[in-house]
Amino acid sequence: MADGTIKHIRIEDLIPDDRNNNKGTQFGQRLVENSISQFGAGRSILIDKNQRIIAGNKMVENAGALGFDEVIVVQTTGRQIVAVQRTDVDLDTKKGREMAIADNATSVADIEFDQEVVEQIAEEFDIDPHDWGIDFEGPEDPEDPEGGSEKKGSMKLIIQSNGGGDLYALMSELEDRGFKCQLIEE
């Protein structure tokens, strides 16, 4: 393989990671789908030498569902940065700045680590997830150093909104995080 060699393959030739440690979220998937629909592809994915997806599984899922069928593969050993240049976009325009915001927002909103998969991979390959900022233990309760906290009473949060779209998105995000939500129209 020569660094910088470019080839074209079909999206169905890509092989999803069968042990993807990101479950994704419904809210994040909607944002990714909206971003691809509105702006097209904005960043590359990462595949191994066998066309298995290392990074970008959710992006490929959404792009395929939206009818994308071609993938441009740039072969490299990892000693070069591969840049995707959008010739139709100028950063200092509404579209350019909104794409930058959408890219960061989708990255944050669509990550939910699959604890079981991460722990299996960590054990199998001797990887410490803490080295990568992954902590499933959660914050320690200073009043309960033994970790035997009792179940607390339930609480309610009431959010009032004049517009439905943002509220539906917020509700979906909260449900993805494990909260029980109920929408009440007045």
Return the pLDDT at 115: 94
Q: What is the number of other CB atoms lying within 10 angstroms of the CB of residue 31?
A: 21
- Top pLDDT among 164 and 24 is at 24
Which residues partner with 73 through β-bridges? 7
Distant-in-sequence, close-in-space partners of 52: CB < 8 Å, separation ≥ 6: 14, 15, 16, 17
Residue 79 has pLDDT above 60, yes or no: yes
Name the pLDDT band for 165 (thresholds 50, 70, 90).
Answer: low
The predicted model gives 42-59 an average pLDDT of: 95
Distance CA 15, CA 47 (A): 9
pTM above 0.85, yes or no: no
Q: Decide: helix, strand or coil at residue 47.
A: strand
Return the pLDDT at 150: 47
